[in-house]
Amino acid sequence: MSVSKFLRQWALIWAILIGIGSYFLADALVSDPTARGALLSGVEIVQPLMIFAMLFITFCNVNPRRMALRPWHWWLIAVQAGVYLALTGVAMMLGESYAKIVVEGAMICFICPVATAAAVVTRRLGGSATQIVSYTILINLVASILIPATVPLVMPEHHGDMWGSMLTILGKVLPLLLLPLMLAWVVRSVSLKVHYYISSHRDLAFRLWVVSLALAMAVTTRMFVKSTVPLWVDGWLVAVTAVCCFGQFAIGWLIGSRYRSRTTAGQALGQKNTVLAIWLGYTFYSPVTALVGGFYSIFHNVINSYQLYKRPKR
Q: What is the pLDDT of residues 210-237, one digit of tens each?
A: 787 788 778 778 777 877 777 888 889 9
What's residue 79's pLDDT? 95
What's residue 7's pLDDT? 60
Mean pLDDT of 111-119: 81
- Whether 166 has a pLDDT exceeding 80, the answer reads no
Task: Give percent of the chain above pLDDT 70.
Answer: 86
The amino acid present at 79, given as its one-letter code, is V
Question: How sure is the predictor about 98, in pLDDT bands with cuts at 50, 70 and 90?
Answer: confident
Mean pLDDT of 288-298: 84
What sign for the dihedral angle of Cα 176, 241, 157, 150? Answer: positive
- Whether 80 has a pLDDT exceeding 80, the answer reads yes
- Whether 75 has a pLDDT exceeding 90, the answer reads yes
Closest by Cα among 156, 106, 92, 113 to 284: 156
Residue 2's Cβ-count burial label (10 Å; 0-12, 13-18, 19+) is: exposed
Q: Of the segments 56-60, 79-83, 145-149, 199-203, which one has the largest average pLDDT value? A: 79-83
What's residue 144's pLDDT? 80
The amino acid present at 282, given as its one-letter code, is Y
d(C-alpha 91, C-alpha 206), whole Å? 37
- CA 37 centroid distance within chain: 24
What phi and psi values does residue 272 have, to the nearest 5 degrees?
Answer: -115, 155
Question: How sure is the predictor about 248, in pLDDT bands with cuts at 50, 70 and 90?
Answer: very high
What's residue 4's pLDDT? 61
The Cα diameter of the chain in Å comes to 59
Per the model's pLDDT, the better-predicted residue between 159 and 312 turns out to be: 312
Residues in Cβ contact with 306 at an 8 Å cutoff, skipping those fewer than 6 apart? none
What phi and psi values does residue 159 have, to the nearest 5 degrees?
Answer: -55, 135
Closest by Cα among 193, 226, 237 to 103: 237
- Whether 255 has a pLDDT exceeding 90, the answer reads yes
Indicate the average pLDDT of the chain: 81
User: DSSP assignment of 97-149, as one string?
Assistant: SHHHHHHHHHHHHHHS-B-TTHHHHHHHTT--HHHHHHHHHHHHHHHHHHHHH
What's residue 31's pLDDT? 78
- Whether 254 has a pLDDT exceeding 90, the answer reads yes
Question: How sure is the predictor about 53, in pLDDT bands with cuts at 50, 70 and 90?
Answer: confident
Question: How sure is the predictor about 267, in pLDDT bands with cuts at 50, 70 and 90?
Answer: very high
Q: What is the pLDDT of residues 105-114, one digit of tens each?
A: 999 999 988 8
What's residue 14's pLDDT? 80
What's residue 312's pLDDT? 63
What's residue 162's pLDDT? 61
Q: Specify the pTM.
A: 0.77
Closest by Cα among 80, 141, 139, 73 to 109: 80
The long-range contacts involving 22-29, CB below 8 angstroms and separated by at least 24 positions, are 22/214, 22/218, 23/217, 23/218, 23/219, 23/221, 23/222, 23/225, 24/221, 26/218, 27/222, 27/225
- Whether 310 has a pLDDT exceeding 80, the answer reads no
Per the model's pLDDT, the better-predicted residue between 156 and 128 turns out to be: 128
What's residue 171's pLDDT? 74
